[in-house]
Structure 1
Amino acid sequence: MEYVWGYAIRREWPDGAHDLFGFAADPETAQRWLDRDRAYWRGGPVRPAAVYLVAANAADVDRHPVAGCRRSCCPDSPERGQR
């Protein structure tokens, strides 16, 4: 499972930190999770600067810090296989 490639949600915060979570191997599941996350934050007083899908492997997501990451080596590429 560690080397399986798929998609994860990357949430950017105004202070420069980011979150990486929600690994999904198929694009349909990843898009549903992304839509749900965007809807959750849309009406609140605190909002991320950006929320988008990135190409990632399961290990990237599993080992990522829970919150407040500022590492530049984290996955930040756009979606793979855009339709």
Structure 2
Amino acid sequence: MTSDEFTWGYAIRRQWPNGAHDLFGFTPDAATARRRLDRDRRFWRSGPVRPAAVYVVPANGAEVRRHPVDGCRRSCCPDSTDRGQW
């Protein structure tokens, strides 16, 4: 077990139209997560390729660190926005 196994916070989840997703940007701070979410949404807003959704999810540090870089389709990855409104 690593020290980030028990570190809970927030990560950004980017959902793609083909069903794949990305999980990145772990932070224990909600305000930082919100800024990262806003920045990611702005980045993709004007491009020809856009994610289906971008939102903040509760996650632990180890989950995000071990997550595949892109194109993940596992159903067990964090996908709930239960820890606050975004």
Q: State the TM bucket, normalised to the shorter chain.
A: over 0.9
Instruction: Please state whether the residue corresponding to 1:28 is helix, strand or coil.
Output: helix
Structure 2 counterpart of 1:49: 52
* 2:28 matches 1:25: yes
Deviations 1:19-47 (Å, cap 9, x if unpaired)? 00000101000000000000000000000
| Contact 1:38–1:51 (CA under 8 A) maintained in structure 2 | yes
The normalised TM-score by structure 1 is 0.95
Aligned residues: 83
**Structure 1 unaligned spans of 5+:** none
Of residues 32, 35, 46 in structure 1, which corresponds to 2:38? 35
Residue 12 of structure 1 aligns with an amino acid whose one-letter code is Q
Aligned equivalents of 1:26, 1:56: Cα separation in 2: 12
**Structure 2 unaligned spans of 5+:** none
Instruction: Please state whether the residue corresponding to 1:35 is helix, strand or coil.
Output: helix
- The alignment yields a C-alpha RMSD, in angstroms, of 1.3
Structure 1 moving runs of 4+ over 6 Å: none
Structure with more helix by fraction: 2
Structure 2 counterpart of 1:14: 17
